[in-house]
Amino acid sequence: MGVAVTVQNLTPVRVDDRKKLGIRSGDTVRVHQKIVEKGKTRIQIFEGLVIATKHCSEIGGTFTVRATMSGIGVEKTYPLYSPMIEKIEIPRRSKVRRAKLYYIRDKASREIKKSLRNMTMVNLTSAHAVEEAKDEAPIEADPTAAPAAE
């Protein structure tokens, strides 16, 4: 005769609201997270693509969000029922055929490499600038001449 422990009794979060969201892979989510700095609490927003969800109906359910910031891929894993998450918004839902979208990591790096391949190093200058550079070039001293006295 075990005691049934529900998620509702163990966390101060509105569990039913989080379950109704139905976060799944392919969703674009906006997570409002509480951050404590120097005794003050502020809200930080992280928006990205959900690439994985794990155990969302259980107390330890998590979801992983990936975003690209300044050309660098950033992933954060959030506990679904964490009291540090103020709000979760789902601005866009996408249809995906996989439960885990880990291939997105490789896909993003392949696209970057592909764009770098198409670029070429070019050193272009105007003809006028090249002529000025020749005129200003220092004249090398004759190596057979005696060193100048200072």
- What is the reported pLDDT for 148? 61
**Residue at token pair 């979801």:** 63
Q: Tally Cβ neighbours within 10 Å of residue 29.
A: 21
In tens, the pLDDT along 52-78 reads 999 988 888 899 999 988 878 899 999
With contact defined as beta carbons under 8 Å apart, do 77 and 62 qualify?
yes
Domain residue spans of the chain: 7-101
Q: Is the domain covering 7-101 a CATH 2.30.30.790 domain? A: yes
Q: How far apart are CA 28 and CA 49, in angstroms?
A: 4
Note the pTM of the prediction, 2 decimals: 0.66
Our CA angle for 85, 91, 93, nearest 5°, is 110
Consecutive H or E run containing 20 = helix 15-21
Tokens representing 113 are 């490499």
Lowest mean pLDDT among 4-8, 12-16, 98-102: 4-8
In tens, the pLDDT along 115-143 reads 777 766 666 666 665 566 666 656 565 56
- What is the reported pLDDT for 11? 61
Classify residue 44 by its DSSP letter: E
Classify residue 4 by its DSSP letter: P
Question: Predicted confidence band at 113 (pLDDT cuts at 50, 70, 90)?
Answer: confident
